[in-house]
Structure 1
């Protein structure tokens, strides 16, 4: 048997270290104490006042000074205790990152243990996620994010929020304050929220003023080159413009949107060509900037996004239907593609939405960027995704055109929706639990909760087995739906997410914060993992047990419990069984049926728990590997502890019939039932560059068959193999992991191996 050794998984994917915080440990501790004291001084029914008072402790102190090559300001540091939305930049609501506080204790070498322990004791009671976990974990069934011993994990987080930056830029700070003041007169019962919104905008102005002073000091006291002085003077003009007024240039619009997003704690940055395109074109026409100036400015913002190290977030969206001024937006889009190609960064997750009839030059430029190996842009097919969103979220076409992928590829309605994935289910672990009569073959603990599974020895047909599997999944899904809805209640009781609420429709209009009835579409998503391993496993069982009768279900149980030890021939049978990704009808049909069942079952829970939608997402960060580490051996021939399939893709190396067959299999998985599926494909540099037209035709056919999305890795297999064995030679090699990109050498070894073993199309 394989030894059951499991290393701790992080709360958030971290594949590149963040910069050390600018503030000293003592300065951080002083702010953490003040923040905690401020939080404690308010009653629970004063959540808006408390939130703003706590934010005033943080801002502008948590912004570090600008770097010498920065063209805009806004390098934000999240403290171990503070306010946020997602774990990659703090955590949701009022939070304490206990792991970071423990590290701080070690750095103080015991000198501050008393005060730090007191802080942790307080936040063990008041941290938003801790409050949620106390009441929403089901013993032996659901664990915390990311506790991979369980078949399901749940959390409270506020991921994937996209703000309506046009609302901010069209009005400016003072203009938006006036809009809110007018609504306050109409809805006096919401005065407390409106007052907090106005206070938040005042704090934004104060933070801008702080940066104005910083730039002025640098202009006076530093010896600057003529070029750098011009850059700083341009920035100063922009900052003074937006301190109270509306932006009047690309740099002022970019700066205002960037500072706002940082203070809101959001880590996906919207349809940037839509809200910056008009400013860019006006600047180009007036001579305020050249195309090169614009590219430099975009690159500067890209660097600020990458330094946040959100890893699985940092989305910037360009292209697609529904933009206000498509012609101007396309100008920005083309320059942003060029900036991305030049920068060669892992963030932002630069994403192109496209459709039939869009300027063809954009797709040509996109493929040229991908060919450099940068992995961007990620490609999203509006002709498939817009109708899919209409179907799954029950919205009209105009509304659906506002869809945006966030994080690893989940869909949300930009500026008007919530879609955070607060539940995850491991389909493969669930199947192994079923096959072992409710007991996990990883740690041999019962994981079926109150659900009774039928003994496998009594299963008489494949259809009966599939039905029993669906019943177990339904049990997990129903528990997850309740936890997801409760996560919103927990967060709403504690905070108003005031900055996010201001730029989310219809919070101002309704006089309600985002999770208190303000958002137009209150949705959510459920991340599914191990989907294709589960489909391959079901196919192997069907063939070996029920069709060919080479095994009984009891014998299958014995093989899996022993991790194939002594059963090499049976393992080979399983590995040789048909696999998804080869355009094979029977296994692809099983995969499609499993996908359709989970999507429909998840969607059916939304109304029951008070959500507008609750949808499956088949995306990936590196949880396929992390959860695989604690998933027992499976009937597809995969051994215990091995990574699982990446998102919607075949198990690495299982697709052996070429890229056309692989894409044909992917196209059979219905896109109109989920809130996002992601597909990875890997090409050698030679094929992608020398056979570009063939590759382009392959992509076109796939998208016309209903393919919703594609992520492309361009890397020589020899280069990847050498990087695996000699990482010091390949520090800059970028790969697409799943729902994010990373420098290959920064990844865990088993994640590197999973990428290495993916089929490379030569």
Structure 2
């Protein structure tokens, strides 16, 4: 193992190693590459760190998710990853000779066709490529776009704490003995053993780092004492399972950064007992535990960003009282950390300790957007039915990324395809044609004037949806297949059920439940548009089909009066039966078609997620004017919420609309609520009853932002004065001033209650 000497030495050494082991088994190749990769990624502790563990991901390497240094920007690459943009940045920022530059150029040429993304794309069939003609969803128009990733492994941290590194080593060695005895794949276990050595290498790195810091001439007594405590913690867990809260926290953090794991799942269940035991026995104070968690959350905010989740609360916790005590200090640490991440989330259920909700609302009232609230009384039975699992398994559900549901360490559920729903309506209206490019991108089934009834039109829309969803499922399946061919994901598979017992990697049949999901965007823009078409063209015959098509083609230029008519047609979010029925129909239609795709693939489940982020704004730029009155290239609706500003009848009407959506046919649905500071903080009892009513009626989840519209508008004009405003974009949080202007306008346009 060697340290980086020049800016791209790490990448050159990795490439050299990959070539050397290119024809070895995937487990051995991955291990050898990780052995040269990890030492170049570890970084020293900083002054205020109370836990050892910092990392910087390389521009080329074997990763599960890649992040840009110092940012929360996710690069959708997985397996053997190649980021040409960052390679060039490194190259341009270095003073190197021509020979070194030539080596780097050769390396880039090699990875151009050797990276896993490229291989996955090349494996697509002709019809898959037709359905998804471009990978660049940020800059190019299409109905569906593939994403090449495993969005998150939710590993079994509880097992990690229960057995420690020695226990994992023992289980791996037992598996290796059986593999040798029965002629099974011993390379997988050999790779796992080597991967465990990487964890130990990280321990040794940080012990040396601490020893170096202890020699500093200006070190204070308090700092030296803290460093000795960290060093002792690391030394204790090298050869033993964790015995204290601090040891468990340190082990989880080091494992996660080495493995590239960004989520912490049900942290209160994992750490609650150790925390309460240590506190009751004077091993740790409540204040010190909060300080440790605050340090962890600051590290997450700096290194991982928006994809990191800490989940608290929920039914099915076997240590509920201890878990509740941990949940309270975790929320306090969220407040003190003051960052945007991790995405602390609270699973609510009837009968839950009321102190948890009170603490959650206190945090939200300060302007934080955490914790995100989930309703177990709806979600647990929903997961049970949608995933077809037992109640016990469903109770251990969690979520990742922007809010996609997953079965903890038992499943994968990566969304590897996104779909622009209003674009489906657009091509159905225009014989498969993309109005913004003139290209045929959908099925050629006729124009609006070819459909005699609304049900004829909807039947054509149904055919378009089925075509693209079928291809989306095949794309999901192929990406998993390619990723499995490329690597075993050793560090991640190690703590996924049942990989060790089966002797198989997660994507190789080791995991209990292999699922996939598809991100849908603009669902309510779609349903409002369909409702408008039904009323204006077919029911009341206000316009002819040709006249509506002309309006949409011209982006309503010269048709202002007609546009106002369309805008005034019943809209979702106002407790109006016509619009709500269409929204529920669109929701159930796409969900039911999607979940049937497990019959045509190797996937145990394939489900819709309506989690939404800023993609509704991005995809809106490639979508023509829509029949609900929306103008060309403007944002689509976000998640399952109403079109921006169209909920005009108050919060109770909105809640009645939101709860019309079935929650047992999808894998995650997000709802954004913007509340004024006055309502949220000065009328707290009313606010609590409002939220409880929403949950009682069947609300699945809510993302809450407590802001004033005036402050948001001022922040657009003078961003330097409003750096502290954070908002929920959809499935993630961001500083308002850091958002692209179109996203800012989208958020301002949402109704504040």
Q: Where on the TM-score scale, by shorter chain, does this alignment land: which range?
A: over 0.9
Residue by residue, what CA displacement relative to the aligned partner does 1:458-480 show, whole Å, maximum 9, x if unpaired? 11111221221111011000011
Distance 1:760 1:344 in 2: 24
Distance 2:223 2:613 in 1: 39
CA drift of 1:232 comes to 1.4
Aligned to 1:55: 34
Whether the aligned pair in 2 keeps the contact of 1:624 and 1:644 (CA below 8 Å) is yes
| Correspondence 1:129 to 2:117 | yes
Aligned to 2:538: 546
CA drift of 1:356 comes to 1.3
| Correspondence 1:218 to 2:218 | no
| Correspondence 1:46 to 2:25 | yes
331, 346, 349: which one pairs with 1:352?
346
Q: 1:759 aligns to what SS in structure 2?
A: coil
CA drift of 1:230 comes to 2.4
Distance 1:648 1:35 in 2: 44
Whether the aligned pair in 2 keeps the contact of 1:238 and 1:249 (CA below 8 Å) is no
Residue by residue, what CA displacement relative to the aligned partner does 1:466-495 show, whole Å, maximum 9, x if unpaired? 221111011000011111100110000000
Distance 2:308 2:28 in 1: 30
* TM-score for both structures, normalised by structure 1: 0.94
- TM-align CA RMSD: 1.6
Whether the aligned pair in 2 keeps the contact of 1:268 and 1:315 (CA below 8 Å) is yes
CA drift of 1:630 comes to 1.2
CA drift of 1:430 comes to 1.4
Whether the aligned pair in 2 keeps the contact of 1:386 and 1:403 (CA below 8 Å) is yes
Q: How does 1:360-371 map to 2 (within 5 A)?
A: 360-371=354-365
| Correspondence 1:379 to 2:379 | no
Distance 1:277 1:158 in 2: 29
CA drift of 1:167 comes to 1.3
Aligned to 1:232: 227
CA drift of 1:89 comes to 6.7
Aligned residues: 736
* TM-score for both structures, normalised by structure 2: 0.95
Aligned to 1:320: 314
Whether the aligned pair in 2 keeps the contact of 1:78 and 1:89 (CA below 8 Å) is no
Distance 1:303 1:441 in 2: 46
248, 256, 265: which one pairs with 1:261?
256
94, 99, 120: which one pairs with 2:80?
94
Distance 2:119 2:237 in 1: 39
Q: 2:613 aligns to what SS in structure 1?
A: coil
Aligned to 2:417: 423
| Correspondence 1:720 to 2:701 | no
Whether the aligned pair in 2 keeps the contact of 1:89 and 1:308 (CA below 8 Å) is no
Aligned to 1:18: none
Aligned to 2:137: 146
Q: How does 1:167-316 map to 2 (within 5 A)?
A: 167-188=159-180, 189-311=184-306, 313-316=307-310
Distance 1:327 1:351 in 2: 18
Structure 2: segments with no counterpart, 5+ residues? 67-73
Distance 1:222 1:332 in 2: 38
Distance 2:34 2:395 in 1: 34
CA drift of 1:371 comes to 0.6
Aligned to 1:337: 331
Aligned to 1:12: none
Q: 1:110 to 1:585 in 2, by over 3 A?
A: farther
Q: How does 1:541-620 map to 2 (within 5 A)?
A: 541-620=533-612
Distance 2:567 2:3 in 1: 55
Whether the aligned pair in 2 keeps the contact of 1:132 and 1:155 (CA below 8 Å) is no
Whether the aligned pair in 2 keeps the contact of 1:145 and 1:155 (CA below 8 Å) is no
Residue by residue, what CA displacement relative to the aligned partner does 1:183-213 show, whole Å, maximum 9, x if unpaired? 2223331311111111111121121111111
CA drift of 1:106 comes to 3.2
Residue by residue, what CA displacement relative to the aligned partner does 1:386-426 show, whole Å, maximum 9, x if unpaired? 10111011100111111111000101111110000001111
Q: 1:473 aligns to what SS in structure 2?
A: helix
Residue by residue, what CA displacement relative to the aligned partner does 1:147-186 show, whole Å, maximum 9, x if unpaired? 5411100122111210001111111112210011112223
Whether the aligned pair in 2 keeps the contact of 1:80 and 1:90 (CA below 8 Å) is no
Whether the aligned pair in 2 keeps the contact of 1:162 and 1:415 (CA below 8 Å) is yes
Q: 1:394 to 1:562 in 2, by over 3 A?
A: same
Higher deviation after alignment, 262-271 or 97-106: 97-106
Distance 1:25 1:466 in 2: 59
35, 59, 63: which one pairs with 1:80?
59
Structure 1: segments with no counterpart, 5+ residues? 1-22
Whether the aligned pair in 2 keeps the contact of 1:28 and 1:79 (CA below 8 Å) is no
Q: 2:311 aligns to what SS in structure 1?
A: strand
Higher deviation after alignment, 138-147 or 699-708: 138-147
Whether the aligned pair in 2 keeps the contact of 1:736 and 1:742 (CA below 8 Å) is yes
Distance 1:410 1:239 in 2: 34
Distance 1:64 1:615 in 2: 39
Distance 1:466 1:329 in 2: 49
CA drift of 1:109 comes to 7.7
Distance 1:86 1:575 in 2: 42
CA drift of 1:751 comes to 0.5
Aligned to 2:700: 708
